[in-house]
Amino acid sequence: MERTSLCLPVVLLLMQCSPSCSVTVSTNEPKVEVKEFSDAVLSCLFHTEIDQNPRIEWKKTGKDVSFVYFNGQFKGSFGGRATIEGATVTLHGVTQEDAGEYRCEVSAHLDIVNLGETNITLKVLVPPHTPSCEIPASAVTGSVVQLRCWDQQSIPPAKYSWFKDSKPISPPRRANATYLINSQTGILEFQSVAKEDTGHYSCLASNEVGQPKMCEGKHMTVEDVNVTAVVAVVLVVCLLGIVCGCGGLLLHRNGFLTRHRGRSFWISQCPGAAHISSQTLHRTEDTSNVNYIPPPQEDFKHTQSFML
């Protein structure tokens, strides 16, 4: 009895609206942007000509397609944290995991065009996190120096600005400015760093989503090349050269390289070299002896004869 009473108006409607009876599906907001941990409303509006009880399904599309809402229930990770009203879904406490493409599908079996769908993109916005800053502790005058700042989590990507001694560094205006700031990459570059650039540097990451965040920062000291250090290095290098030269001659003298040829030269250039050589030889033989005792003369002779 019930079936016939339902069928009759359906048939009548079909006759009326044919052939344009169709389900129509639309959305108020095809692109939804919400801050993380808040609620996202994915609107899905439908209109059916005849079928008053269409089937509603929600899918998350993209690489893999998975059900969000099927057979009157939320599936997987959406269970317990999503609600539906009509065909509009509200996701509570969204995270980055929820960002992506969604599709609302409405199938009205009694309509002629019986399937309608609409796509919704969900973007989950993330406020800036404290950026990581890379600031050298020291730099040499005139060198190229890069200070880096980055926060990989913020969505949309953070913009960066730099501070020196807590004062903002304005983006360079003049063509002859000695530095560049890239607010997208977060790099502050000095093409030729000067002593006046010494100071405490820090960087601020900001996007429209939340409070800007600043890194702790670091002190950078710019100095000329340390003259005393250079002199010391040169002296050490010279000493090493002399030591190596004498060492080479020592080898000559002891017959490691060419027999006899170096000896007269060695003795004339380095008086007392014979003594040093014997000491050196004995030192290498007994390095554990802290209080060095000069070797007996016989031993020295023995070594010499052995070597020569």
Ligand X SMILES: *[C@@H]1O[C@H](CO)[C@@H](O)[C@H](O)[C@H]1NC(C)=O
Q: Provide the minimum distance between the beta carbon of 178 and ligand X in the complex, in angstroms, as a whole number.
A: 6
Q: Provide the minimum distance between the beta carbon of 145 and ligand X in the complex, in angstroms, as a whole number.
A: 17
For residues 90 and 82, is the Cβ–Cβ distance under 8 A? Answer: yes
Stretch that binds ligand X, among 116-124, 146-154, 185-193, 206-214 (CB under 6 A): 116-124
Among 130, 152, 127, residue whose Cα is nearest residue 211: 127
- Which residue in the set 16, 18, 28, 61 belongs to the binding site for ligand X (CB under 6 A)? 61
- Which residue in the set 20, 152, 176, 184 belongs to the binding site for ligand X (CB under 6 A)? 176
Stretch that binds ligand X, among 112-120, 126-134, 180-188, 245-253 (CB under 6 A): 112-120
Beta carbon nearer to ligand X, 22 or 277: 22
Stretch that binds ligand X, among 77-85, 113-121, 152-160, 260-268 (CB under 6 A): 113-121
Tokens 């493409």 sit at which residue?
A: 101
How many residues at the interface with ligand X, by CB under 6 A?
7
For residues 31 and 124, is the Cβ–Cβ distance under 8 A? Answer: no
Q: Provide the minimum distance between the beta carbon of 103 and ligand X in the complex, in angstroms, as a whole number.
A: 6
**C-alpha of 193 from chain center:** 25
Q: Provide the minimum distance between the beta carbon of 117 and ligand X in the complex, in angstroms, as a whole number.
A: 5
User: Which residues are CB-contacts of 117 (< 8 A; sequence separation ≥ 6)?
Assistant: 25, 103, 104, 105, 106
Q: Provide the minimum distance between the beta carbon of 46 and ligand X in the complex, in angstroms, as a whole number.
A: 12
Counting DSSP H helices and E strands in the chain, the numbers are: 5, 21
Q: Helix 273-285 vs helix 227-253: angle between axes, to the nearest 10 degrees? A: 90
Please spell the DSSP secondary structure of 1-28, one letter per residue: -HHHHHHHHHHHHHHHHTT--B-EEE-S
- What is the C-alpha separation between 99 and 36, in angstroms, rounded? 10
Q: Residue 27, interface with ligand X (CB under 6 A)?
A: no
For residues 253 and 266, is the Cβ–Cβ distance under 8 A? Answer: yes
**Residue ranges of the alpha helices (H) in the chain?**
2-17, 227-253, 263-269, 273-285, 297-307
- Which residue in the set 43, 88, 118, 161 belongs to the binding site for ligand X (CB under 6 A)? 118
Count the Cβ atoms, other than its own, within 10 Å of residue 236.
10
**Tokens matching residue 20:** 């344009």
Q: Residue 57, interface with ligand X (CB under 6 A)?
A: no
Q: Residue 22, interface with ligand X (CB under 6 A)?
A: no
Beta carbon nearer to ligand X, 61 or 130: 61
Q: Provide the minimum distance between the beta carbon of 13 and ligand X in the complex, in angstroms, as a whole number.
A: 25
**C-alpha of 22 from chain center:** 51
Q: Residue 117, interface with ligand X (CB under 6 A)?
A: yes
Beta carbon nearer to ligand X, 9 or 30: 30
Q: Provide the minimum distance between the beta carbon of 25 and ligand X in the complex, in angstroms, as a whole number.
A: 8
Q: Residue 119, interface with ligand X (CB under 6 A)?
A: yes
Beta carbon nearer to ligand X, 117 or 134: 117
β-sheet with 145-150: strand ranges across: 132-134, 145-150, 187-190, 179-182
- What is the C-alpha separation between 236 and 249, in angstroms, rounded? 20
Site for ligand X in 74-103 (CB under 6 A): 103
Q: Provide the minimum distance between the beta carbon of 219 and ligand X in the complex, in angstroms, as a whole number.
A: 23
* Interface residue list for ligand X (CB under 6 A): 61, 103, 117-119, 174, 176
